Structure 1
Amino acid sequence: MAANAERKEHPISMRLPEADIAIIDRAAGLRGRSRTDFVREAAVRAAEEVLMENRLVRMSPEGFADFMAVLSGPVNPAPEMVELAKRPAPWESDYVAKS
């Protein structure tokens, strides 16, 4: 075996309350995954969400001016959204649950 072999995995150790372990194990079981796979996937997904929330958008001054012009321009209502906004909320409907 090569002495300079690059390590592909890096262990992470955590101390968790028994209740946390129980819920993680239950959820992992429902997904058919091991605890390790479940926790790894959840941690990576959470990290990706944080990175996407903080992503920097770069554009040229001309591109920014065009973007602002579109935002400042006249609004063209989407008929589907207008119809949806006119619908009564479920709690405002005439439906009365029968006991």
Structure 2
Amino acid sequence: MSRAAEKKEHPLSMRLPEADIAIIDRAASLRGRSRTDFVREAAVRAAEEVLMENTPIRMTPGGFDAFMAALSGPAVPVPEIVELIQRPAPWEEAGSRK
């Protein structure tokens, strides 16, 4: 088989309980996706998370020192976050129905 004619996709088959299929189909429908697309995306996302959890972060000794200094330094408030935290929740605002 020529290189241009080689398949780039590989089939994957799973046996799942009917209840699992129903949940997957419902979620896929809510996202406007096919079952295959939904499961593929979820599986790839989960695999990426596992790989990221187990990927070492490498840096130079100077980079590590700068990183530790940033972590050890005083916290700097972010004005937008401070404002958001101080803002009343919609159900706490005056004039809202209880």
CA deviation profile, 1:18-47 (whole Å, cap 9, x unmatched)? 111111112222222221111111111211
Q: What is the distance in 1 between the residues matched to 2:10 and 2:51? A: 21
Q: Which consecutive unaligned segments of at least 5 residues does structure 1 have?
A: 88-96
Q: What is the distance in 2 between the residues matched to 1:37 and 1:6? A: 22
How high is the TM-score relative to the length of structure 2? 0.67
Of structures 1 and 2, the larger Rg is shown by 1
> Paired residue for 1:62?
62
Q: What is the distance in 1 between the residues matched to 2:14 and 2:51? A: 23
How high is the TM-score relative to the length of structure 1? 0.66
CA deviation profile, 1:43-79 (whole Å, cap 9, x unmatched)? 1121122222333221111111122222223344456
Assess, with a 3 A threshold, how the Cα gap between structure 1 residues 36 and 84 changes in structure 2: closer, same or farther. closer
> Paired residue for 1:23?
23
Q: CA RMSD in A?
A: 3.1
Q: Amino acid of the residue matched to residue 37 of structure 2?
A: D
What does 1:1-99 correspond to in 2, within 5 Å? 2-3=1-2, 5-78=5-78
Deviation above 4 Å: which 4+ runs of structure 1?
77-87
Q: What is the distance in 2 between the residues matched to 1:9 and 1:76? A: 48
Q: Which consecutive unaligned segments of at least 5 residues does structure 2 have?
A: 88-96
